[in-house]
Chains A and B, each alone.
Chain A
Amino acid sequence: MKDIREDIAWAKINQDVMKSLENPRKIYWVILFFAVLMFAVGIGCEVYQYQVGMGVANLDNPHVWGLYIATFIFWIGMSHSGTLLSAILHLMHADWRKPIYRFAEAMTTFSLMTAGLFVMVHLGRLWQFYYAVPYPNERWVWPNFQSPLLWDAMAIFTYLSSSVLFLFVGMIPDLAIARDNLQSGWRKKLYTLLALGWEGTDRQWRNFRVTYLTIACFLIPLAVSVHSIVASDFGMSQQPGWHVTSFPPYFVAGALYSGCAAIITLFIILRYVFKFEEYMTLPILKKIVRLTFAIAMVWTYLNCVEFASVWYSHDGVSKDLLIQKMTGPYAPFWWAMIFCGSVVPFVFAIKRFQTHIPVLFATSLLLNLGMWLERWMIVAPTFSHGYYPWTWDHDQWPSMIQWGIVFGSFGWFTLLFMVFCKVFPSVSMYEVKEMVYHRTLHLKKNEIGETAEQGAH
């Protein structure tokens, strides 16, 4: 099966993608409406928490992080696959990335923006965020540069701004196409401004190629460092369940995993909503599904490594915590995590499901549920079964305010993502043209080769 048809006219590619900006299916507006509604719930909960205090979130010692930091890690993880996969596949010249990388990169950007909110939300006093920012001040008080929390802030800022630049630079030729395809209106003005006068000259393309490649090279180690640093937030503490050597690779694998699952979900949604069936094809989906399955197995392996190293160690407290996770009050969620993260992905191993849209959609949602539970199971059980016996009867169930803010974050992400896809081309037009062009060349070469061979006989 072909990733894309090689006989699609280039003009049609422009038309189809430009049409998606003006004329999506009606379900787009339904999704947008629910996203706004969910976001409003989140805002309402945050305003209430801000007015009344952190008590309404049911956060108290020892549970000081709750769902906020668990969801923060979830969104950071979600951000991982977009830009990282796009950069890796770009370096590997994997053509099938071309129709899907734009929305994956947008996913990265908006996930990071959502994750950043949780850092503020969990502070309670939002205005005190500036204490974390390193700037010369008259009190001579600096943030602690030795703390992984500060590394985290720096890494996320670097990743977010670099991802935005990567997304923007990669979009300039498409913005010029959009500019040229419109006669007037606010879109024309916006695209004209953002296209920076791009005309596709040889000088522009030459510099574009080197720039894009260079940023891709930077983004790969950056993305790995971001989630390793998030892992250090936990791994560098002495807490049982967190002080584990394998945490950085475990976090990176988990991030890639949840990101890939999210790409499958969004792929299916965009393909239907924006009528991208010709570009977001089933063979491409199949490739992502296989990749996700491979990453799921890596994640499962790293889980086993973590459990085994705790089980066979002489660290009694960590071992108790592991038993507590399996049998204690968090057991249903822990086993749900194992089921969703390690068992459900076997659906992807069955060939006939690899292109079965409803099954893939449901499976990808389950995988992400599993990955969200994973983050919650990292944060909460350690707080309720730490070194101090007084914590052992302090199991905590998050309040509705916490759930509401987490719920709202999904609305915020969906809102940003859907607005982006309506304003900017979510399929890269010039790269799909390149893909079609390369396929045509390849076919021509094969035909010439076959003719020459027949002639020789």
Chain B
Amino acid sequence: MSKRHLLALYGNFDEAEAVVQELRNTSIKGFDVNEDMIVKSPIEHPEVEKFLGDKPVYVQWFTLIGALLGGSLGFLGISSAQANFFMQMKGGKPIVPLPPNFVLTYELFILGGVYITVLGFLICAGLPAKRSPLYNAKVSVDNIGILVKGDESVISTLKAIFTKHKALEIQEEAGK
């Protein structure tokens, strides 16, 4: 069965939280609150994460891999260049001197960490993204949006919950 989208806008976080709680507590067939609901807000708001429940973030793993790769590849790259640099007179000094190489390794550690963190962010946040089926510019002003998708049969139930909690506006995707 095809799924349809519904977007409800609220004026504050308390109302949005109440809706999410009710959606969680009410068992609606054809609607999975973890999969079928997205909360959109104009500001970063840790409370949203609290009432949505624990959802893992994997960006830090990208950071770790990026930093380790940056540092180790940087050190290897520099060392192999030094080992190949036959024209430089070493005069008994080490071919691969560790203290100066540490400085460059440190910089490349950070470089790798930052670059791959940003890459991880784009992947984990799903960016660049296409505009979602229902979008309202008021979310970037001061409204909190709750976007849900569900079977045709549950749309009216979801709409009733939104209306009960005094949604400022409800947008509905046209039926297919």
Contacts and interface: CB of A to CB of B under 8 A. Distances in A.
Interface in A82-123: none
Interface in A204-249: 204-211, 214-215, 218-219, 221-222, 225, 229
A140 B86 CA distance: 8
Contacts of A10: 42, 141-142
Nearest to B84: A140
B110 A162 contact: yes
A176 B81 CA distance: 44
B137 A180 contact: yes
Interface residues of B, number: 60
A205 B121 contact: no
B139 to A, nearest CB: 6
B127 A214 contact: no
Interface string B116-133: 011011101111111110
A437 B41 CA distance: 13
Interface stretch (A25-33, A66-74, A191-199, A266-274): A191-199
A49 to B, nearest CB: 31
B38 A201 contact: yes
A204 B110 contact: no
Interface in B70-127: 78, 81-82, 84-88, 97, 100-101, 103-104, 106-108, 110-111, 113-115, 117-118, 120-122, 124-127
Contact of B60 (A136, A214, A430): A214
Nearest to A436: B43
Contacts of A302: none
Contacts of A197: 127-131
Nearest to B135: A199
A151 B120 contact: no
Interface stretch (A141-149, A357-365, A402-410): A141-149
B128 A14 contact: no
Given A140-B86, A214-B117, A201 B40 contact: yes
B174 interface: no
Interface stretch (B49-57, B151-159, B163-171): B49-57
A11, A210, A225 — most chain B CB neighbours (10 Å): A210
A130 to B, nearest CB: 16
Given A140-B85, A202-B49, A158 B40 contact: no
B140 interface: yes
Contacts of A23: none
Contacts of B41: 200, 202, 205
A162 B114 contact: yes
Given A204-B127, A206-B57, A215 B111 contact: no
Contacts, number: 173
Contacts of A344: none
Contacts of B69: none
A154 interface: yes
A203 B81 contact: no
A429 B140 CA distance: 10
Interface string A145-186: 110001100110110011001100100110011001100000
A215 B82 CA distance: 31
A203 B85 CA distance: 49
A176 B108 CA distance: 32
Given A165-B118, A437-B43, A214 B107 contact: no
A50 to B, nearest CB: 30
A415 to B, nearest CB: 27
A433 B42 contact: yes
Contacts of B110: 158, 162, 218, 221-222, 225
B152 to A, nearest CB: 24
Contacts of A145: 78, 81-82, 100-101, 104
B111 A214 contact: no
Given A145-B100, A209-B44, A199 B60 contact: no
A185 B101 CA distance: 50
A434 interface: yes
A323 interface: no
Given A154-B104, A165-B114, A430-B42, A142 B81 contact: yes
A288 to B, nearest CB: 24
Contacts of B43: 430-431, 433-434, 437
A430 B58 CA distance: 24
A150 B147 CA distance: 52
B139 A198 contact: no
A132 interface: no
A225 B107 contact: yes
B42 A207 contact: no
Given A154-B107, A158-B110, A202-B48, A211 B59 contact: yes
A199 B131 contact: yes
B45 interface: yes
B92 to A, nearest CB: 15
A155 B39 contact: no
B117 A211 contact: yes
Contacts of B48: 202, 205
Contact of A210 (B60, B81, B122, B147): B60
Given A142-B82, A211-B117, A225-B106, A203 B125 contact: yes
Contacts of B108: 154, 158
13 contacts: A9-B142, A10-B42, A145-B82, A146-B100, A169-B121, A180-B141, A199-B139, A200-B42, A200-B139, A204-B126, A207-B124, A218-B110, A225-B103
Given A177-B42, A199-B132, 15 more contacts: A14-B141, A134-B81, A141-B85, A142-B88, A151-B100, A158-B107, A158-B111, A173-B140, A177-B141, A196-B127, A197-B128, A202-B41, A202-B49, A203-B55, A210-B121
